[in-house]
A and B are shown apart, each in its own frame.
Chain A
Amino acid sequence: EPEVTQTPSHQVTQMGQEVILRCVPISNHLYFYWYRQILGQKVEFLVSFYNNEISEKSEIFDDQFSVERPDGSNFTLKIRSTKLEDSAMYFCASILTVGYEQYFGPGTRLTVT
């Protein structure tokens, strides 16, 4: 069964550094999402991406964040200058169309020190 994959599984970085989290969505899917979950809190929507552009973003997704689909298979989330409060699990998800259920990748645990 096809699945969403994410790398790395755990990333440790220092405050102020840039990080890039990578996702490979399911191959024929068209809509892509990033969510985050701070430890002990709920899963929160960050951004959706369709047709090579951001289609919706939350208040969390400020100028420090960007997304890209550089090569038709990878979907990346970049945080330009990490803060301590960016420490969280980051989940990628994809769907074929908006009417379908979302499938999540295993997540990247980001620790900012």
Chain B
Amino acid sequence: RKEVEQDPGPFNVPEGATVAFNCTYSNSASQSFFWYRQDCRKEPKLLMSVYSSGNEDGRFTAQLNRASQYISLLIRDSKLSDSATYLCAAKNAGGTSYGKLTFGQGTILTVHP
């Protein structure tokens, strides 16, 4: 089983739509989680960290469910500029881990007019 798994999509949504991405992780030692955004042939850019209590940044809301080993990202009022690949990442903490990130394969989002 893949350590971090995402629905690859693609998701094609109209401007203004609400879209949700899911991500599951298999390593219970994973402690921190992140959503990154990646534009074509560019580096991953940190979108937001994901906390157990959930967190919101403008139109973006991230949730973590440790019991189900599940992370989500909700984008409200989609803009054309939101079109990108969204990467879920997990990081172990402590022990022999030095902060490496394990990424999912990414979910492609296309927002159309």
Per-position 1/0 for B37-48, Cβ under 8 A of A:
010011111100
In chain B, positions 63-102 with a C-beta closer than 8 Å to chain A are: 87, 91, 93, 96-102
Q: What separation, in Å, do the CA atoms of A6 and B42 have in the docked complex?
A: 12
| B103→A42 contact, CB < 8 A | yes
| B101→A45 contact, CB < 8 A | yes
Which B residues lie at the A interface, using CB under 8 A? 32, 34, 38, 41-46, 49, 87, 91, 93, 96-106
| B46→A101 contact, CB < 8 A | yes
Task: Determine the interface band of chain A, counting residues with CB < 8 A from chain B.
Answer: 20 to 34
* Residue of chain A at shortest CB distance from B93: A98
- Residues of chain A within 8 A (CB-CB) of B44 are 43, 91, 104
Contact of A42 among B46, B98, B104 (CB under 8 A): B104
Contact of B34 among A41, A89, A101, A109 (CB under 8 A): A101
- With A41-B105, A43-B87, A50-B98 already in contact, 8 other A-B pairs whose C-beta atoms are closer than 8 Å: A31-B98, A33-B99, A45-B102, A89-B41, A95-B99, A99-B93, A107-B41, A107-B42
| A101→B98 contact, CB < 8 A | no
Q: What separation, in Å, do the CA atoms of A31 and B43 have in the docked complex?
A: 18
Per-position 1/0 for A41-75, Cβ under 8 A of B:
11111001010000110000000000000000000
| B101→A102 contact, CB < 8 A | yes
Q: What separation, in Å, do the CA atoms of A93 and B103 have in the docked complex?
A: 14
- Residues of chain A within 8 A (CB-CB) of B98 are 31, 48, 50, 55-56, 98
| B34→A48 contact, CB < 8 A | no
Minimal beta-carbon separation of B28 from chain A (angstroms):
18
Q: What separation, in Å, do the CA atoms of A44 and B43 have in the docked complex?
A: 13
Contact of B46 among A43, A45, A102 (CB under 8 A): A102
